[in-house]
């Protein structure tokens, strides 16, 4: 049940500064009285001062293997995991904090650090507890995201449970809304039936076109998704197959 989930009324009401403190813009010492920002409410005040917005979302991130693998590869991009299980979301939040601290406390290479610092120091990765089937547009504005990952979603095998799948005509419209044109949806699963379902539903959506396999396989994100997700590792150990599909968010058609 998710009756106790909290979510912002609107993306601008989200306190991103708590998730990405290193990306809070420097606040000028004296805000002029006529500065419109100074008259806004607390939440907007903070939003107005974030240097960046979240651009990459991992839907149902689990324990965050993909998040922590992506973070150093795109150190200037804010990456967010969304996870419905409270304890799992907390685990990812705590891990991000621990990794940041470890990076901050590491001596510089000149002082004999054994391992090189991780680009971005994990400051660009965080996680929130959310039911992405319900509140996605509360967190992200239109065209805010450049990448959405749907990695090993729960398969919900029985036909009467298919409505619980995180790829559907309705949810695809939400993904299309929050993704910028040219943005990507990455899917991976070991369940062939679910792969076929996701491909069918995304291909049928007017906002998405499947990326050719050659191009998808050349995308580093695909390699990371195969290798670094917890489920991807499990499937690897068991010698299972991984089915991948990547979709591009198309431009909206011009009004006639
Ligand atoms: N993506 C991770 C991976 O590849 O290792 C975890 C995959 S796990 C099979 C599916 C995850 O999705 C679980 O952690 C589950 O709690 C989460 N989940 C399922 N439904 C969700 C929803 N509506 N909103 C957010 N997370 C959800």
The reply to whether ligand 1 has any atom less than 6 angstroms from the CB of 83 is: yes
Judged against a pLDDT cut of 60, whether residue 18 lies above it is answered with yes
Q: How many CA atoms lie within 13 A of 213 on its CB side?
A: 3
In whole angstroms, give the CA distance from residue 36 to residue 40: 7
DSSP structure class, residue 45: H
Confidence of residue 46 (pLDDT cuts 50, 70, 90): very low
Atom of ligand 1 nearest to the CA of 233: 5
The model's confidence at residue 43, banded by pLDDT at 50, 70 and 90, is very low
Q: What is the pLDDT of residue 45?
A: 47
Say which of 34, 41, 154, 190 is annotated catalytic.
154
Q: Which residue, 135, 176, 147, 152, is CA-closest to 80?
A: 147
Q: Which of 176, 194, 122, 141 is nearest to 14 (CA)?
A: 141
Residue 48: pLDDT above 60?
no
Which pLDDT score is estimated for 37? 55
pLDDT of 253 over the 90 cut = no
Domain 53-249 has CATH 3.40.50.150: yes
Distance 148 CA to ligand 1 centre (A): 13
Name which residue sits closest to atom 23 of ligand 1, judged by CA. 131
Residue-averaged pLDDT of the chain: 89
Q: What is the pLDDT of residues 53-69, one digit of tens each?
A: 999 999 999 999 999 99
Q: Does residue 78 have its Cβ closer than 6 Å to ligand 1?
A: no
Lowest mean pLDDT among 13-27, 193-207, 222-236: 13-27
ipTM rounded to 2 decimals: 0.99
Q: In what order do the strands lie in the sheet with 125-129?
A: 125-129, 78-83, 54-59, 145-151, 179-189, 243-249, 208-210
Render the burial of 122-138: b for 16+ CB within 10 Å, e for the rest: bbbbbbbbbebbebbee
d(CA 149, CA 59): 6
Query: What's the 229 CA to ligand 1 centre distance in angstroms?
Result: 11
pLDDT band at 25 (very low <50, low <70, confident <90, very high): confident
Mean pLDDT of 99-122: 85
The model's confidence at residue 11, banded by pLDDT at 50, 70 and 90, is confident
- Tally Cβ neighbours within 10 Å of residue 249: 25
Q: From the CA of 231, give the closest atom in ligand 1.
A: 5
What pTM, to 2 d.p., does this model score?
A: 0.91
C-alpha of residue 62 to centroid of ligand 1, in Å: 5
């Amino acid at each position: 049940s998710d009756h106790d989930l909290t979510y912002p009324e609107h993306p601008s009401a989200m306190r991103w500064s708590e998730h990405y403190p290193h990306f809070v813009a420097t606040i000028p010492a004296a805000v002029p009285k006529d500065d419109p920002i100074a008259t806004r409410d607390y939440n907007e005040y903070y939003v107005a001062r974030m240097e960046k917005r979240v651009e990459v979302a991992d839907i149902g991130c689990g324990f965050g293997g993909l998040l922590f693998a992506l973070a150093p590869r795109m150190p200037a991009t804010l990456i967010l995991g969304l996870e419905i299980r409270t304890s799992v979301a907390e685990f990812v939040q705590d891990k991000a904090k621990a990794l940041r601290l470890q990076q901050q406390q590491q001596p510089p290479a000149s002082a004999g650090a054994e391992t090189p610092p991780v680009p971005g120091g994990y400051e660009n990765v965080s996680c929130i507890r959310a039911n992405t089937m319900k509140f996605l547009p509360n967190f992200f504005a239109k065209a805010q995201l450049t990448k959405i990952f749907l990695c090993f979603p729960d398969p919900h095998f029985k036909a009467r449970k298919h409505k619980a799948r995180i790829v559907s005509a309705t949810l695809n419209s939400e993904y299309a809304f929050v993704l910028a044109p040219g943005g990507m949806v990455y899917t991976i699963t070991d369940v062939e039936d679910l792969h076929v379902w996701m491909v069918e539903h995304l291909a049928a959506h007017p906002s998405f076109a499947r990326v050719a396999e050659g191009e998808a396989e050349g995308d580093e994100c695909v390699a990371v998704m195969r290798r670094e997700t917890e489920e991807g590792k499990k499937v690897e150990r068991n010698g299972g197959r991984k089915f991948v599909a990547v979709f591009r968010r198309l431009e909206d058609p011009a009004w006639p």
